[in-house]
Amino acid sequence: MTPAPDIIIVGAGMFGVTAALELTLRGHEVALVDQGPPPFVLAASTDISKVVRMEYGSDAFFMALAEEAMDGFDDWNQRLSRPFYHQTGVLMLSRSMMTEGSFEHDSWRMLLERGHSPERIQSDDLTRRFPVWNETAYADGFFHQRGGWVESGALIGELFELALQRGVRFIQGAVTSVLMRNGRCEGVALQDGTSLHAGRTLLACGAWTTKLLPELDPFFRSSGHPVFHLRPANPAQFTPPAFTVFTADIAETGWYGFATHPSENVVKIGRHGTGLTIDPVSDAREVLDDDETSLRAFLAASLPDLADAKIVYTRRCLYADTMDADYWIDRHPQIPNLSVASGGSGHGFKMAPIMGGLIANMMEGKKDTRLDRFRWRTDSRQSRIEAARFDG
C-alpha cells in the first residue's frame, strides 16, 4: 500500500506544478492531482505563449515581484533543457500622449524610478522602429527591452517532468470534494470514488477553486477572455526586432499580442479585459462573433497588414479572478490542514519562477512579508482590476 503523502496538491497548472517542485526540493512527500497530465488542455497556463513583463502602472510591489521573477526566468533558461523565456522586449503604446494616472505613464515613471531604461516611442518613431504599426493610431508609449514572452504550456510540461524525477507522485482524476473529519481536512475525493489522504491539502486549481470551496464564491470570479492565432501572409513582417510583444493602450482597449511564434508560425493576439463570466465545468469556452468583429476592427486601425489574416485557432482563456486582483495564497483560517493558492487574475504566469517559493513558504509557515498582500481576506477590501486590464 502506497503511504499517504505529506501534501496533496489539487491542480497541476502553474501554481500547482511550481509548488510541487519547490515543496519536494524542501523534503516534503508530494502528490499532484489533476484531470490529466500537464500541460492539461483546460488549464489557463496551457498555451503557446504568455507575456512576461514587469510593468504594473504605479504598483511598485508587483513590479518588484516581476523583477525577481524575470531573474528566475533567466535562471531557468540556464538550468532547464532549453530556453523557454524569450527576451524580445515589450512595446507599450498609448493612443494619446501619456499622462499621469494612465497605465503607460505610471509604468514608465515607475521603471525610471526603479533604475530601468525604457525607450520612449512616439508616433514619429513608431514606424521607423516597428514598421507594421499604423503610426496615426498611437501618439505615445515606450519600448522596454527587459521583457518578452514564455512558452507557457511547454514550460509547465518541463517542470512537471522535473517534479516527477524528483519524487512527486501524479494521480490522474477529477477531484469532487474535500474530505473532512471532525472539522479538519484529511484529503480529497475523486470522481471515481477514490479517496486520497494526506497530512495537508493545497487547492491550486484556478477557476475550479470555488467548486471545491464554495465559501469563496463571493470573492472569486471565473472569467473567459478571447485569444486568437492568426496566420499572416508575410510572417517575417511580424518577427523581432521589427515586431515584439505589445500592449495597445491596453487598459483602455484590452488588446495585447506577440510576434510570430517561431514554431507555430502564428501571431497570437488576445484581449485582457473583463471577459465573460464562465463556469469552468458547464460552460463552453467559445470565442464569439462579436469578439472576432472587435479583433478585426482593432487590426484594421492598428495593424492593417494583419486585418485580413486567417484565424487558425481560437480559445477562451479562463482567469480565476479575485475581487481585488491580488493572488490568494494562505491557509484556511477555520479548517486545519487546508490551504489555497489561486486567484491568478490574469497576471499569474509571469510570476512562475517565484510562485513555488511563495506557496512553499506559506505551507511551511515561514515569515514572508510578500504573502501579506495575498492573505485570506473576506473583509471589505476594495474591488479593483489589475492596472493593465481593460474594464469593459
Phi, psi (degrees; rounded to nearest 5) at 19 = -65, -45
pLDDT of res. 382: 74
pLDDT at 392: 83
C-alpha cell at 93: 503604446
Q: What is the mean pLDDT of residues 306-321?
A: 97
**What's the rounded Cα separation, in Å, for the pair 342 and 47?**
18
Instruction: Flag whether pLDDT at 1 surpasses 60.
Output: no
- Which of 311, 298, 312 minimizes the C-alpha distance to 255? 298
Q: What is the pLDDT of residues 159-201, one digit of tens each?
A: 999 999 999 999 999 999 999 999 999 999 999 999 999 999 9
Strands 195-197 and 184-190: antiparallel
The cell for 216 is 469563496
The β-bridge partners of 338 are 201
Residues, the chain: 392
For residue 262 the three cell numbers come to 517561431
pLDDT at residue 343 tops 90: yes
Average of pLDDT values for 379-385?
Answer: 77
Q: Evaluate if residue 380 carries a pLDDT over 80.
A: no
Q: Residue 107 — φ and ψ, nearest 5°? A: -65, -45
Identify which of 295, 287, 239 has the alpha carbon closest to the alpha carbon of residue 263: 239
pLDDT, residue 379, reads 78
| pLDDT above 80: residue 381 | no
% of residues, the chain, pLDDT over 70: 99
- As a whole number, mean pLDDT of residues 120-138 equals 96
pLDDT at 342 over 60: yes
The order of strands in the sheet holding 200-203 is 169-172, 30-34, 7-10, 200-203, 338-342, 328-331
- The reported pLDDT for the residue numbered 4 is 87
Instruction: Give residue 2's pLDDT.
Output: 65
Question: What confidence tens digit (pLDDT) does each residue in 271-286 have?
Answer: 999 999 999 999 999 9
Q: Supply the DSSP symbol for 206.
A: G
Q: What is the pLDDT of residue 173?
A: 97
d(CA 311, CA 271): 15
Average pLDDT over residues 129-154: 97
Alpha carbon distance 41, 43 (integer Å): 6
User: Quick one: pLDDT at residue 383?
Assistant: 83
- pTM for this predicted structure: 0.97
Using pLDDT thresholds of 50, 70 and 90, give the confidence band for residue 3.
Answer: confident
Which H or E element spans position 369?
none
Rounded distance between C-alpha atoms, residue 95 and residue 123, angstroms? 9
Decide if pLDDT at 355 tops 80: yes
Domains of the chain: 86-146+221-322 (3.30.9.10)
DSSP 340: E
pLDDT bucket at 225, cuts 50 / 70 / 90: very high
pLDDT digits (tens, 9 = 90+) for 226-270: 999 999 999 999 999 999 999 999 999 999 999 999 999 999 999
